[in-house]
């Protein structure tokens, strides 16, 4: 089975406390919402204390067109992605340093900007990768992207067991902030989303870099699409950029839909909820985590790491589940324990992985 050898993370330089985000939102939106103070309670109710973003706070109170936003996305994504890749290949999680020349494929995941050539190609021009590395950019998966990237890396390593694959997830959600979007979806999005980068190294079972330490192996993966659910989450693309689509029904959908999805997946491998020691969940928000617990009959200790990542980082979209995975790996689960990695995103869709620490 392919093995996840290391995960690195990197945060942009501007730390924003949740109270500062409240004040920005009050100044921007107070003239448009009669009940602004009641609506602003969404910031306090989300269990987020701080977030990191790529631009200084006052930048977000000014007008910016799509071109400016996207140029910033490209430049910051290259800078932050280069750092994350280097940290991943030099991680203390590895038994030995992995050289750039040992990488056979890069799966690049993002949904918050547009670049052709994609960001992975631009990073390859900064770092000494081989010129025959397979490039697999994934766009539009949103919060499900980090999990989907790991699943596609798993499949690559099953096809090429000697391969080493990087999964690089970069989201600069803050650059999509629209100060002239007076929808409640936008206000909720402002209360949740942030910027972050993560990189994971996945090795096939005949890779020379298989770890001697206990690491999560990917036993199986599955994907699921809910038909006719495009309006649950995503982007509306307009002249000024990307406008958030964020349905208030998401927690209800998770409660009704996620449980059967996970249970059917586990049943294929003769497992049940109680066999799962670790729930590596993308923390979409406080209500989303509560919906996970309800749907899967987990107590809140199973979502503790996800909750901590959300509290200190907000929802960074696709990289967030890799931040959670990194915390689990550093906590050193016991050999033989099972975990489920889960993330949900636009589509509406879900991505699951069955992990086994070995």
Specify the range with the lowest mean pLDDT, choosing from 18-27, 148-157, 298-307: 18-27
Q: What is the pLDDT of residues 108-132, one digit of tens each?
A: 999 999 999 999 999 999 999 999 9
Q: Is 47 left (phi over 0), alpha (psi -120 to 50) or beta?
A: left
- pLDDT at position 252 is 82
| pLDDT over 80 at 34, yes or no | no
- pLDDT at position 184 is 78
* DSSP symbols for 259-294: HHHHHHHHHTTT--GGGEEEEEE----HHHHHHHHH
- pLDDT at position 277 is 94
Give the list of residues 6+ apart from residue 96 with CB closer than 8 angstroms, or none.
209
16 within 8 A of 57, measured Cβ to Cβ: yes
Residue 337's CB is within 10 A of a number of other CB atoms, namely 16
Q: Which residue has the tokens 């979409």?
A: 284
Q: Rounded to an integer, what distance in angstroms lies between the CA atom of residue 5 and that of residue 89?
A: 10
Give the list of residues 6+ apart from residue 325 with CB closer than 8 angstroms, or none.
4, 7, 200, 216, 280, 341
- pLDDT at position 190 is 87
Answer with the residue of higher pLDDT: 224 or 291.
224
Q: What is the pLDDT of residues 147-200, one digit of tens each?
A: 999 999 999 999 999 999 999 999 999 999 988 888 878 888 888 899 999 999
Residues labelled as active-site residues: 143
Q: State the pTM of this model.
A: 0.94
Q: What is the pLDDT of residues 254-268, one digit of tens each?
A: 878 888 899 999 999
């Amino acid at each position: 089975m392919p093995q996840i050898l290391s995960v690195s993370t990197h945060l942009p330089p501007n730390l924003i406390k949740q109270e500062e985000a409240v004040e920005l939102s009050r100044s921007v939106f107070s003239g448009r919402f009669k009940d602004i103070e009641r609506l602003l309670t969404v910031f306090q109710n989300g269990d987020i204390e701080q977030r990191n973003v790529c631009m200084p706070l006052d930048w977000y109170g000014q007008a910016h067109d799509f071109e400016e936003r996207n140029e910033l996305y490209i430049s910051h994504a290259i800078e932050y992605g280069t750092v994350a890749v280097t940290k991943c290949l030099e991680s203390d999680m590895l038994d030995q340093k992995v050289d750039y020349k040992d990488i056979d494929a890069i799966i690049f995941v993002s949904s918050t900007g547009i670049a052709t050539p994609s960001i992975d190609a631009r990073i390859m021009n900064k770092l000494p990768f081989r010129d025959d590395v397979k490039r697999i950019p994934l766009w539009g998966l949103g919060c499900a992207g980090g999990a989907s990237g790991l699943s596609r890396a798993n499949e690559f390593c099953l096809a090429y067991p000697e391969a080493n694959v990087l999964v690089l997830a970069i989201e600069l959600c803050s650059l999509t902030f629209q100060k002239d979007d007076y929808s409640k979806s936008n206000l909720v999005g402002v209360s949740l989303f942030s910027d972050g980068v993560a990189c994971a190294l996945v090795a096939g079972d005949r890779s020379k870099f298989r770890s001697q330490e206990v690491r999560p192996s990917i036993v199986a993966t599955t994907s699921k699409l809910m038909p006719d659910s495009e309006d649950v989450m995503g982007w509306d693309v307009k002249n000024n950029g990307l406008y958030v689509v964020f349905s208030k029904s998401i927690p209800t959908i998770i409660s009704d839909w996620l449980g059967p999805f996970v249970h059917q997946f586990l049943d294929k491998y003769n497992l049940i909820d109680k066999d799962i020691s670790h729930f590596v969940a993308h923390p979409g928000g406080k209500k989303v985590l509560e919906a996970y617990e309800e749907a899967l009959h987990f107590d809140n200790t199973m979502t503790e790491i996800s909750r901590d990542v959300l509290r200190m980082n907000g929802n960074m979209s696709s990289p967030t589940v890799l931040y959670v995975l990194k915390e689990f790996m550093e906590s050193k689960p016991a050999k033989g324990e099972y975990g489920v990695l889960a993330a949900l995103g636009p589509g509406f869709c879900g991505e699951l992985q069955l992990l086994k620490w070995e």
